[in-house]
Amino acid sequence: MQYAGLWDVDSPSRLLEQLHRDLVDYSRGRLDDDIAAIAIRASATTA
């Protein structure tokens, strides 16, 4: 998706919800196949 950087990076669940909405919109409401996605939030560490 061309605007992935605009998604809410602070909440993996919201990211997945938005991805689902985008896929439903893109498929015109007909998701005829299985879809799997995982979102992981990594925190910055200092060494």
State both tokens at 19: 């991805």
At 2 the pLDDT is 56
* Dist CA 34 CA 43 (whole Å): 30
The residue written with tokens 């409401």 in the block is: 29
Pick out the chain residues at pLDDT < 70: 1-10, 46-47
At 45 the pLDDT is 75
CA 20 to chain CA centroid, Å, is 7
